[in-house]
Amino acid sequence: MLRMSALCRRGLAEGERRARVVVTEESTRGDGTIMSQPDLVVVVVVSVVLAVSSPPVPRSTCSLGAGPNSIGLSTFCLGVVLTRLSFCIISMRTRHLGLLRRAGASLSPCFRQVGLRLRASSPSQSRNLSTSRPQIIFSGIQPTGVPHLGNYLGALQQWVRLQNISPPDTTFLFSIVDLHALTSRQPPASRLASRRSLLASFLAIGLDPSRSILFHQSAVPAHSELHWILSCDASMGWLSRMTQWKSKLSEEELASLLNPTPNPKQRERMKLGLFSYPVLQAADILVHRATHVPVGEDQLQHIEFASNCARQFNHAFGGGDDAEGKAKTEILVPPEFVVSPAKRVMSLTEPDKKMSKSHPLDRSRIMLDDSEEDIIKKFKTALTDSLPGISYDRANRPGVTNLIEIMSHMDPDGKSCEQIAEDLKDSSLRVLKEEVARVVVEHLRPMREEYLRLMSQNNKRLEEIAEEGAVKARESADKTMQLVREAVGL
């Protein structure tokens, strides 16, 4: 007697192998959504149930339509087909795997093993920072002067944490992306001052130039060279769907994007630099062969685009595909993302909007170089509500929730938002504001003091660190560009 489960195991293995080949070929041609997330879950569950619940079939009847046990064989075939389909959908839409990854802690050990195997076949997924080969972590920030609290909690604090906890063979590159900043006009003297103050902020928050490569993007010409090479094959359709691009234009401007005679306002706003911004961002990452990129949730789309650029380039110039449909030579490395645990820090005056330097009110944000008196004053005037007590409720109490989250991210004891809300539930809003101000002041004090020291006119250390970082960054980028030039025939 031949057990159907044995057939299923062989059929599922074959289905998975072939699905990977199909997915690799399809992933180089588009990113279309095939099935919604609920449908995906249904397909996976049904496939597993069908595979494990099929009845035993006698060897003599192992053919379709042969006697009463043909239902079992039909069930087996349906299970294999659905499983292949589910692997295709999962591999093509990597954000579904992101959901499975976040839910992994609640899965049984059996399904957790399956989740790990699926992630391994999808290079654009965010995985734990524990892989066999040394990791290269890259991230960048525009030079807009001293960072505010949202920049620090959303990105910079994560950089320092990764630097301090990662294995010694991990390479870190943190860039001041001054070429990206050219998409907005600024006086040259102001731009130079912003570059210097941001580098001082890097050092003040704890980035160590002996452990991390700190450099200006413009000091590494390979960023711009790879930008052009990737631009020659980048999809305008994909770029036009970028959230950041669409957020800068109105519906009328989007509709008239290809209009040969746009009005002056449209011509002013529809800049090529802004449109191709994601391509340069992809070049920033890929030129250093970065394996992981720490980002906020609003940048995940850009990391997905960078991964797609790498796969397309490898498919086109990687010497053909292997038996599984993957490029034989991995010239560019598809990066993975590391999402910061801190959510968006909201404005102190409009808690439904992100904290930003562009807000007209200075008291809407906390700058890392603010004096203790200014920090206390800004929190004292923070917008909350008129409800009694303290509770953690993002939907109904956004202002109070924003203060609780800020306090949680900077609390020396690592208290959660729920713990803080419980401790202060019977307190007044004034007490909450005072507590948040106290925690923030104590956390930022050593950073502010170090920043002011570095910014002193007689301190030449900033220029030395920038030059040392540029040399190391150029060495890193030149290794990749040598491979790229050989691949494309330059």
Choice among 343, 354, 415, 479 that is catalytic:
354
Neighbours of 154 (CB within 10 A): 27
* Residue 378 annotated in active site: no
* Residue 354 annotated in active site: yes
User: Range with the lowest mean pLDDT among 36-50, 141-155, 182-196?
Assistant: 36-50
Say yes or no to pLDDT of 59 above 60. no
* Residue 357 annotated in active site: yes
Choice among 248, 343, 472, 479 that is catalytic:
248
Dmax over Cα atoms in the chain, in whole Å?
92
Q: What was the pLDDT predicted at 144?
A: 87
Domain ranges of the chain: 4-120, 136-342+461-488, 362-454
Q: Which of 112, 90, 84 is nearest to 11 (CA)?
A: 84
Segment (H or E) for 174:
strand 171-176
What's the pTM? 0.69
How far is Cα 458 from Cα 275, in angstroms, rounded to an integer? 41
Tell me the mean pLDDT in the region 183-212.
Answer: 93
Say yes or no to pLDDT of 125 above 50. no
Predicted confidence band of residue 98 (pLDDT cuts 50, 70, 90):
very low
Token pair in block for residue 58: 């006698």
349, 366 contact by CB (below 8 A)? no
What is the residue-averaged pLDDT of the chain? 76
Say yes or no to pLDDT of 91 above 80. no
Q: Which of 480, 488, 476, 482 is nearest to 172 (CA)?
A: 476
Q: What was the pLDDT predicted at 106?
A: 33
Tell me the mean pLDDT in the region 258-275.
Answer: 65
Tell me the mean pLDDT in the region 449-467.
Answer: 88
More confident residue, 81 or 113: 81
Predicted confidence band of residue 290 (pLDDT cuts 50, 70, 90):
very high
Q: What was the pLDDT predicted at 16?
A: 45
How far is Cα 464 from Cα 31, in angstroms, rounded to an integer? 44
Q: What was the pLDDT predicted at 240?
A: 72
| CATH code of domain 362-454 | 1.10.240.10
How far is Cα 127 from Cα 307, in angstroms, rounded to an integer? 14
Say yes or no to pLDDT of 129 above 60. no
Find the distance separating the first CA and the last CA of the chain, reported in whole Å: 63
Predicted confidence band of residue 34 (pLDDT cuts 50, 70, 90):
very low
How far is Cα 428 from Cα 435, in angstroms, rounded to an integer? 11
Choice among 357, 415, 472, 479 that is catalytic:
357
Predicted confidence band of residue 349 (pLDDT cuts 50, 70, 90):
very high
User: Range with the lowest mean pLDDT among 66-75, 115-124, 435-444?
Assistant: 115-124
pLDDT > 70: percent of the chain? 64
Predicted confidence band of residue 401 (pLDDT cuts 50, 70, 90):
very high
Q: What was the pLDDT predicted at 276?
A: 83
Q: What was the pLDDT predicted at 110?
A: 31
Q: What was the pLDDT predicted at 50?
A: 46
Tell me the mean pLDDT in the region 360-378.
Answer: 95
136-342+461-488 and 362-454: identical CATH topology: no
pLDDT > 90: percent of the chain? 48
Domain 136-342+461-488 has CATH 3.40.50.620: yes
Between the CA of residue 19 and those of 41, 291, 334, 424, what are the distances in Å?
A: 17, 25, 20, 54
Between the CA of residue 457 and those of 199, 320, 461, 468, what are the distances in Å?
A: 15, 56, 11, 20
Supply φ then ψ for residue 243, to 5 degrees: -60, -40
How far is Cα 311 from Cα 318, in angstroms, rounded to an integer? 9
User: Range with the lowest mean pLDDT among 249-258, 307-316, 397-406, 426-435?
Assistant: 249-258
121, 20 contact by CB (below 8 A)? yes
Q: What was the pLDDT predicted at 246?
A: 62
Predicted confidence band of residue 296 (pLDDT cuts 50, 70, 90):
confident
